Chain A
Amino acid sequence: AQKITQTQPGMFVQEKEAVTLDCTYDTSDPSYGLFWYKQPSSGEMIFLIYQGSYDQQNATEGRYSLNFQKARKSANLVISASQLGDSAMYFCAMREGGLRTGTASKLTFGTGTRLQVTL
C-alpha cells in the first residue's frame, strides 16, 4: 500500500509567488516523522524541513513551512516568495520506527512533484 501520496506530478509558479505542494500519508504508528527533500537536476537530495508526529506547531525553515494536519494525515509544503532556483523535484517522505520502537527505521518517499518557477 502506498504510504506517501503526492498527487501533483508537476506544478508551475511565478517568481515571487507562494506555492503549496501536497502530501498525504498513511500510518498506524503513533511515532513518525515527515520530511521534505528537494532534488535539483544535479541529483543531490537536499533536506528542507521536518515535522514530527508529536509536534504541536507547524515547522518552518526560512521560506519553507509545513502545513501539518494530523487528523487529515496531510503534510503540505509551502514555499513562499518562489525563486528561479527553487525549480526542482520535491519529495515528501515519512519515517517510522527506529531505536525507540525496537524495529529498524525506513525513510519512504512519495513519487515527487516537479516544480517549475517561471518569470
Chain B
Amino acid sequence: DTEVTQTPKHLVMGMTNKKSLKCEQHMGHRAMYWYKQKAKKPPELMFVYSYEKLSINESVPSRFSPECPNSSLLNLHLHALQPEDSALYLCASSPEDGFNEKLFFGSGTQLSVL
C-alpha cells in the first residue's frame, strides 16, 4: 500500500461549523504533513509531525488544530473558519523527517467556507 488517503474529498462548511479532515497512510512513515494550497498557488506548509509529535507549526491560526493520534493517522480539526480559508488541503507523509526524503501526497480535500 503506497497511498495516502484523505477524506472527505470535498467539504462545504459554514463559518460556525466544526469539521475534521482525515488523513491515513499505512506505509510505516513516521513524518506527516498538512499543506494548504490556494488556487493557482504553490502548496504552503502548515504543520509537520515527526514520530507523532508536532515539530513545525507555521504560525497557523488557532482555528486550525492538528492531531496525530497514531503513526498512521493525521487529523485537521476546523472551527470558526473564514471564507479566505477556502482552499485545497493536502496531506503528505514521508519515511522520516529528513532532507532527502520525498513526500507522498494524498489527493486532497477541497474545502469551501461559506
Contact = CB atoms under 8 A, between A and B. Distances in A.
- Our verdict on whether A and B bind, yes or no, reads yes
Interface of A: 29, 31-33, 35, 37, 42-47, 50, 52-53, 91, 95-101, 104-112
Closest 9 CB pairs of A and B: A98-B98, A109-B42, A45-B105, A104-B55, A44-B107, A98-B99, A95-B99, A33-B99, A33-B100
A107 B58 CA distance: 12
Contact of A42 (B42, B43, B103, B107): B107
Interface in B32-70: 33, 41-45, 48, 50, 55-56
A6 B105 CA distance: 21
Interface residues of B, number: 28
B97 A98 contact: yes
Contact of B97 (A33, A45, A104, A111): A104
A29 B106 CA distance: 29
B108 A52 contact: no
Q: Name which of B50, B90, B103 has the most chain A CB atoms within 10 A of its CB.
A: B103
Contacts of B107: 42-44
Nearest to A107: B103
Contacts of A99: 50, 96-98
B88 A52 contact: no
A38 to B, nearest CB: 11
B18 interface: no
B88 to A, nearest CB: 6
Given A44-B108, A45-B90, A45-B105, A100 B98 contact: yes
Contacts of A37: 105
B39 to A, nearest CB: 11
Contacts of B50: 99, 104
Nearest to B41: A111
A53 B99 CA distance: 10
B96 A50 contact: no
Nearest to B92: A45
Contacts of A52: 99-100
Interface centre among A46, A105, A110 (most CB of B within 10 A): A105
A109 B43 contact: yes
Contacts of A110: 42
